[in-house]
Amino acid sequence: MNFKDIKDDNSISDISKTAQSISNPIDDYKIMPLNMRTSANRLYGGYINSQIKPDEINYSEIITLINRSFNNESDIFRLFQTIFENLSKKINLNFSALGLYAPDSSYIDIRLVDKTNSFYNSKILINESENILIQAFKNKKIIFTNDSDYLKLSYLKNSSTNIIPLVTFGEVNGVIIFSDNNSNQFIELYKLIANYLAMFIKNKELLNLVDKNTDTDSLTGLSNHKKLQEDLASEIKDCLNSDKELAFCIFDIANISEINSELGHAKGDTIIKEVAKKIKKNVRNTDILGRYGGDEIGIIMNDTSVDEAKYICEYLLYNLSCTMFDDLGQLKFSCGISMFPKSTNKQEKLTMLAEHALYIAKSKRSQSGQSEIVSTNDYNFWDGEALKCFAKVLTKKHASFGFNIEEELINQFHSENIVSSEHLLDVVSSLTSAIDAKDTYTKGHSAAVSRYSEALARAINLPEAETERIKLGAMLHDVGKIGIPENILKKPTSLNDDEWAIMKQHPLIGADKVLKPNKSLHDLIPMVKYHHEHIDGTGYPYGIKGDEIPLSARIVAVADAYHALISDRPYRKGLSVHKACEILKMGSGIQWDRELVRKFIIIAPSLAMNI
């Protein structure tokens, strides 16, 4: 919506001055028109153009804050965040980004934070020679630009930006980026921070080398996590060369944290040690073991099919079930299996998918009370429980690999082999449920808007095929919110200008990022892209008006607005059907199609009875 006190109900906007002169039926609810926002019509206008002069800055105070950050933080990304927070208090930064390069990777991993304190991840391939970030990195030169497209983050607005390579002893280990509206006035300060950060990163690398001088886990005697990953990379390479399959399995001991809490960590360590010994004794000579995590044992099974891997894991569970522990009795286990190359041909995703299967096995174990084995072949990705488990894995992986759950959901959506219209509807329903889950106050919103849109399409006697298209498009109308930060979606108060500018990106994100890559969904794009356009031309993202707005998008706009009005929000109760219809009527011919509003008001009471 577009009412100031309804921060993400983007479907109702500033009803014009003519409508404002009418006695407003919702004055008692203190809902303000959004045209009071200074940025309501500034979608691509860039960041607020406020500048700070160098003589207004207390450099001594800034250096003290930065120095304190280096002294207090040991994690690189946490240090980066603290530097940004301290610098933002003194300089009006639009965003800052840290990009780190590992010699064995083919990309620079970018972590970006903006003035709304939202975090984003992006990867820039080293071979993208036209990308100015790669040019700054390779040439060890600072690049100043006014274009942010090189970061591949759709919502960023253009502003003056410094890309500074992080160089120590002639070696580049990454870049740091500062974006402001100050015309490059603070470059010397940025260079100073970059120099210190480069030395900090180099020192961390040296410490890590010292810490990783052994490949053996001291508790279990198995390979440690680092060595297990190295072995996995080697085995994958062997499978590629010989056209063989590989299974990666993770065994998890049930309730080890409770055991540690109740009986002490010494008891927990004894159990992990005995389990590792038992597994090592009963696997094949060709299998490779390692400690994957605290209570997790990883097994690499080269030249092994999924059925063979399951059989081996079942055999291991049988042997483990014969091991009894004082005070505990028989332990329970979970096992997740992923397959190379059937599940994926990328190592990071192979381990991630094994964890996904493991989480599903844990869920099944908690229900059955028995040890469980799950492979990536055993479940439907779009099943509700599988999606929950996937979210847990992606949350865990985000810190170490930069995986992003929204990106992965979109990738899965694009790669899904749709076999029927019913299958497509199931997948779309699961995807939109995952999006709605980002905001607990809009749970079920997509399904409701789909139902209302279908009813309105039938009320104006559209053909059955068109009605079904509108039903599906309405289900996906907010799919672009998959790219909007949760702190903005869940903000309990009004959005500020920068947050609102980001929120208004969701129609384009949905159309271009989610639907456009899939040709079979192209006819749904108009509903996703244009459902926030207004009849009088004051909407977004393009400001088109009247019949320029596709009929399907006009239908979804009415349904979207209605459900937003009758739904509870943290700052107000949902309006009655009568009040909601009064608002639609007041905005007809201004924001919404007059004839569609008239038809919808007629059917609204019957829709309410079905809620």
The residue among 172, 124, 117, 181 whose CA lies nearest residue 149 is: 124
35: exposed, middle or buried (Cβ count in 10 Å: 0-12, 13-18, 19+):
middle
The predicted pLDDT at position 36 comes to: 31
pLDDT (average), residues 576-588: 94
* Other CB atoms within 10 A of residue 198 CB: 22
Residue 143 pLDDT: 94
- Residue 76's pLDDT is what? 86
Most confidently modeled of 28-42, 49-63, 137-151, 373-387?
Answer: 137-151
| Cβ(490)–Cβ(440) below 8 Å | yes
In DSSP notation, 164-207 reads EEEEETTEEEEEEEEEESSTTTTHHHHHHHHHHHHHHHHHHHHH
* Residue 541 contacts residue 528 (beta carbons within 8 Å): no
pLDDT score of 470 more than 60: yes
Segment 436-462, tens digit of pLDDT:
665 555 567 888 999 999 999 999 999
Cα dihedral angle (511, 517, 522, 526), rounded to 10 degrees? 10
| Helix, strand or coil, per DSSP, at residue 216 | strand
Mean of all residue pLDDT scores within the chain: 80
Per the DSSP assignment, residues forming a β-bridge with 223 are 216, 290
| 225-393 CATH | 3.30.70.270
CATH architecture for segment(s) 17-38+416-608:
Orthogonal Bundle (1.10)
Report phi then psi at 300, rounded to 5: -100, 120
| pLDDT exceeds 90 at position 135 | yes
Give span(s): CATH 1.10.3210.10, the chain.
17-38+416-608
Averaged pLDDT, 170-188: 87
Provide mean pLDDT across the span 25-38. 32
pLDDT in tens, 361-402: 888 887 788 888 988 888 765 555 655 556 555 545 444 444
pLDDT for 547: 94
Task: Indicate where the chain has its CATH 3.30.70.270 domain(s).
Answer: 225-393
Residue in the structure block whose two tokens are 């399904």: 447
- CATH homologous superfamily of domain 54-211? GAF domain (3.30.450.40)
User: Amino acid identity of 113?
Assistant: V
Condensed to tens digits (0 to 9), the pLDDT of residues 535-548 reads 999 999 999 999 99
pLDDT for 226: 87
Choose among 346, 232, 243: nearest CA to 292.
232
Query: Is residue 85 pLDDT above 80, yes or no?
Result: yes
pLDDT, position 208: 67
Check whether 32 has a pLDDT greater than 50. no
Return residue ranges of the chain for CATH 3.30.450.40.
54-211
pLDDT in tens, 67-79: 888 888 778 888 8
- pLDDT band at residue 609, thresholds of 50, 70 and 90? low
The identity of residue 99, as a single letter, is G
Residue 566 scores a pLDDT above 60: yes
Average pLDDT over residues 265-277: 86
Give per-residue pLDDT as tens, 321-359: 777 776 667 788 989 999 999 888 888 888 888 988 888
Contact 232, 351 (CB under 8 A): yes
End-to-end CA distance of the chain: give it in Å, rounded.
21
Q: Which comes out higher in pLDDT, residue 103 or 404?
A: 103
Alpha-helix runs per DSSP H in 417-550? 421-436, 445-459, 464-475, 486-489, 497-503, 506-508, 525-530
How is residue 36 written in tokens?
């009071």
Q: Is the pLDDT of residue 263 over 80?
A: no
pLDDT (tens digit per residue) in 88-121: 888 888 899 999 987 767 889 888 988 888 888 8
pTM: 0.53
pLDDT at position 415: 66
Residue 332 corresponds to which tokens in the numbers above? 């329970």
Provide the percentage of residues in the chain whose pLDDT is more than 70.
78
Is residue 301 within a helix (H) or strand (E), and if so which, with residue range?
strand 296-302
- pLDDT average, residue stretch 210-231: 83
Residue range 495-547, pLDDT digits in tens: 888 888 888 999 998 898 888 888 878 899 999 999 999 999 999 999 999 99
Greater model confidence, 119 or 238: 238
pLDDT tens column, 44-62: 234 444 556 656 677 788 8
Residue showing tokens 């970030």:
133
